[in-house]
Structure 1
Amino acid sequence: MFVLVKAALNQGFSTFVLVFYCQAAACLPLVPIAALRESRRNAQSMSFMLLLKLFLCALIGNTFCINLLNVSLKYTSATVQSAISNSKPVITFCLALVLRMEVVKIRSSYGIAKVTGVAMCLAGVFVIAFFTGPSLSPVNHHHAFRGHSSSSIMSRGTWIKGTFLKLLGDMAWAMWIVFQAALLKEYPNRMLVTATQCIFGTLQTLVVAAVAERDIARWKLRLDITLVAIFYSGFVVSGLLNYLQVWCMEMKGPVFLVIWFPLGFVFTMFCSFFFLGEVIHLGSILGGILLTGGLYSVLWAKSKEEEKTKKQGSSEVNAIETIEIGYDEKEEKKLEGDQRKDKEEHEEEASISICGTSVIDGPYEG
């Protein structure tokens, strides 16, 4: 996706109009599926406050975030975009920490690993922004997608601005993820939540594009790489990819999904190097390595803490079951003792009554 969108932007297509077309393309398959699967009763159950929350979520995640990421992609390269994307789980963790949804114990090894991972991610972003280093010239000078490679001619200030705009966009994405998780707990219909946000996002990006681009010629689509980028972002990324991610999380959990993020950085660097003819600098590679290391450090600490919590929970359950079993055995023994004592008392009373009859009645009979 980064490579295709970057190729469309290199041809001079408007960033904001491209975002609107991508959102509209995502609505094409999603809205009819939601209309067929969901009944009218489910749609009517959505209150005004819920729709307002979905509107704000779409404003953060679909409109602000995607527009910001595409602007930053215009100012940098596809490789940088993919490298900094590895910081998304770390930024989400930091946001959850601020909202007190996560806890960091500094004195534990897991807490130190989390803090180290966050520091490595920040270091990776600063290395990408401020350190260039020697460049790797593209081996394929006749790249597949025509248009100039903007990353090779932009100024240093533009590159730094694009890097931190990308980081700001990832922060908005992390905020959107946290808000959407809370929203799904309130209204757990994933299909309606996704389709409604997609509709709101399309309308919002239309307004942004209409304000930013008033020249109707900038809205014209042609049979080139721009059309491929729009349909790929809409159908494959927003449609198929989201479904595959949900399926993967249900099968293996979210940690298994996130650990493959750095592979996207490798693929993007390869494709932009060969197909876009982008010049890759050593700073981008070193920054990507730091970001990947920081991601794995936080994920390792998080997974180990979850395993430890599960073990403690199972041991507590076993301890409670042991106490309950011991208590039941004690009660059973006490009950058996009481029954035995009652039986002995009844036998003693019976023997006394029998002896009384034979001793007292005996003389009168005689």
Structure 2
Amino acid sequence: MSRGGAGEYSRYCYREILPFTTMVVMECTNVGLNTLFKFATNRGMSRHVFIVYAYAIAAVVLLPSPFFSRRSRILPPLNSSIMLKILFLGIVGYTSQIMGYTGINYGSPTLASAMSNLAPAYTFVLAVIFRMEKVALSSTSSRAKIAGTIVSISGAFIVTFYKGQSISSTPSSPVSLHNSLQSSSQSNWMIGSLFLSVEYFLVPVWYIIQTHIMKEYPAELTIVFFYTSCVSFLAAVVGFFVEQDPSQWKIRPNVALASILCSGVFGCCINNAVHTWALHLRGPVYVAMFKPLSIAIAAAMGVIILGDTLYLGSIIGATIIAIGFYTVMWGKAKEEWGELDETTDLEISTPEKYPLLQSYRTEVAQKR
């Protein structure tokens, strides 16, 4: 393979394969972390205390990142304007987190996975409003992105609300993912849905703010460090007034500690860093479109790890999600390739349409 071919393949892996793989892994991780959080809160852990400690752990892990970022690249000054935007990002992020964990507390991780499918629709609409996403109904790529978003969300709701016949079951199967929704009372389910819907409206807002910050200050780990520090501080201030019981702040070596450590390292630290990097590389719509996969991942993890029963609705819904997901990805790819083709055509046609300009460029180049 030539150097040019190797370089093209490396760029393809970096822009296509690596973001896809890491985002799928992060969705798997998030489903597991939500399940662990639910288990810990059932044992009495406070969600306010959880956010304080989890984000504090992430901030400690990322503490060296600002120094390494400064040494490895030339960055603009970290001025007050950027810090205010990071603070605003922290407020949005903290509000989103407290809404999400409250929703999981009232509902379940499965409900959270189902409601997360609102994120792509919210993101697509907000990205269009803020002119971060191009939409032209006459364009095939735009129609594909719109249709794919609708199909993905529809498939996710099919997984959640349509059970169908049992396909596989095991004797040790305790409770299926669908039964976990049914076990919650109707009122708690509605309250949880409300909190989660607010969370997944704030998630794309977080994506868009983060994307704007990355354009001004392209240092992923540094931004995530300041972001996690802000969230931990805000959560501590709120928790000081909300959690009056001192025993809630004492974490013992049990499932609560495991949940805090795992969420701090894999959720608040690695997950936020990966999302920030993916936002910088591919944009908010690409990142949000992985949310519908969480419900399919939750169903798969339930069967493989927990021995849950797999139902026909899960298969149908997961298939529809995959169709919608790849339809959007196809639309994004077609749009990018279309822009590349237009640029290439412009470069090729320049000497033909403007020979005097081309001869002038050649003359200048020879003089240099």
Scaled by the length of structure 2, the TM-score of the pair is: 0.71
Query: Higher Cα Rg: structure 1 or 2?
Result: 1
Is 1:67 matched with 2:98?
yes
Change (3 A) 1:162 1:132: farther
Give, in whole Å, the separation in 1 of the partners of 2:311 and 2:187: 16
Q: Which residue of 2 aligns with 1:78?
A: 109
Alignment check: 8 A CA contact 2:224 2:269 kept: no
Match of residue 169, structure 1, among 174, 199, 206: 199
Q: Which residue of 1 aligns with 2:132?
A: 101
Q: Cα offset for 1:320?
A: 0.8
Give, in whole Å, the separation in 1 of the partners of 2:118 and 2:326: 10
Give, in whole Å, the separation in 2 of the partners of 1:125 and 1:260: 12
Alignment check: 8 A CA contact 1:128 1:163 kept: no
Deviations 1:174-203 (A, max 9, x none): 111111111222233333322111111110
Is 1:58 matched with 2:90?
yes
Match of residue 10, structure 1, among 23, 28, 42: 42
Q: Which residue of 1 aligns with 2:57?
A: 25
Alignment check: 8 A CA contact 1:91 1:171 kept: yes
Secondary structure in 2 aligned to 1:31? coil
Equivalent residues, number: 322
Change (3 A) 1:154 1:273: farther
Alignment check: 8 A CA contact 2:53 2:260 kept: yes
Q: Which amino acid aligns with 1:49?
A: S
Q: Which residue of 2 aligns with 1:346?
A: none
- The runs of 5 or more residues in structure 1 that have no matched partner are 144-148, 333-366
Q: Which moved more, 1:157-166 or 1:189-198?
A: 157-166
Match of residue 269, structure 1, among 287, 293, 299: 299
Q: Which residue of 1 aligns with 2:144?
A: 113
Q: Which moved more, 1:70-79 or 1:132-141?
A: 132-141
- The runs of 5 or more residues in structure 2 that have no matched partner are 1-32, 363-368
Give, in whole Å, the separation in 2 of the partners of 1:159 and 1:15: 18
Alignment check: 8 A CA contact 2:159 2:295 kept: no
Give, in whole Å, the separation in 2 of the partners of 1:236 and 1:117: 30
Is 1:302 matched with 2:344?
no
Q: Cα offset for 1:277?
A: 7.6
Alignment check: 8 A CA contact 2:299 2:314 kept: no
Give, in whole Å, the separation in 1 of the partners of 2:60 and 2:299: 31
Q: Cα offset for 1:311?
A: 0.7
Deviations 1:187-240 (A, max 9, x none): 333333221111111100112222332222233312222211111111123334
Q: Cα offset for 1:310?
A: 1.0
Change (3 A) 1:38 1:317: closer
Q: Which residue of 2 aligns with 1:153?
A: 183
Is 1:320 matched with 2:350?
yes
Match of residue 220, structure 2, among 172, 177, 190: 190
Q: Cα offset for 1:45?
A: 3.9
Change (3 A) 1:274 1:328: closer
Q: Cα offset for 1:150?
A: 6.4
Scaled by the length of structure 1, the TM-score of the pair is: 0.72
Q: Cα offset for 1:100?
A: 2.3
Q: Which residue of 2 aligns with 1:203?
A: 233
Deviations 1:234-253 (A, max 9, x none): 11233344556677889x96
Alignment check: 8 A CA contact 1:84 1:288 kept: no
Secondary structure in 2 aligned to 1:218? helix
Could you say what the CA RMSD is over the residues aligned between the two structures, in angstroms? 3.9
Q: Cα offset for 1:38?
A: 4.3
Q: Which amino acid aligns with 2:42?
A: N
Alignment check: 8 A CA contact 1:87 1:295 kept: no
Give, in whole Å, the separation in 1 of the partners of 2:75 and 2:334: 41
Q: Which amino acid aligns with 1:34?
A: P
Q: Which amino acid aligns with 2:328?
A: V
Percent identical residues = 25
Q: Which amino acid aligns with 1:58?
A: G
Give, in whole Å, the separation in 2 of the partners of 1:273 and 1:313: 48
Change (3 A) 1:112 1:100: same
Alignment check: 8 A CA contact 1:118 1:298 kept: yes
Alignment check: 8 A CA contact 2:170 2:309 kept: no
Give, in whole Å, the separation in 2 of the partners of 1:97 and 1:284: 31
Alignment check: 8 A CA contact 1:25 1:234 kept: yes
Change (3 A) 1:261 1:121: closer
Deviations 1:100-120 (A, max 9, x none): 222222233333222222333
Alignment of 1:224-303 (within 5 A): 224-242=254-272, 264-272=294-302, 290-303=320-333
Deviations 1:279-306 (A, max 9, x none): 8877676655554443332222122111
Give, in whole Å, the separation in 2 of the partners of 1:115 and 1:74: 33
Q: Which residue of 2 aligns with 1:180?
A: 210
Q: Which amino acid aligns with 1:52?
A: L
Secondary structure in 1 aligned to 2:348? helix
Secondary structure in 2 aligned to 1:221? coil
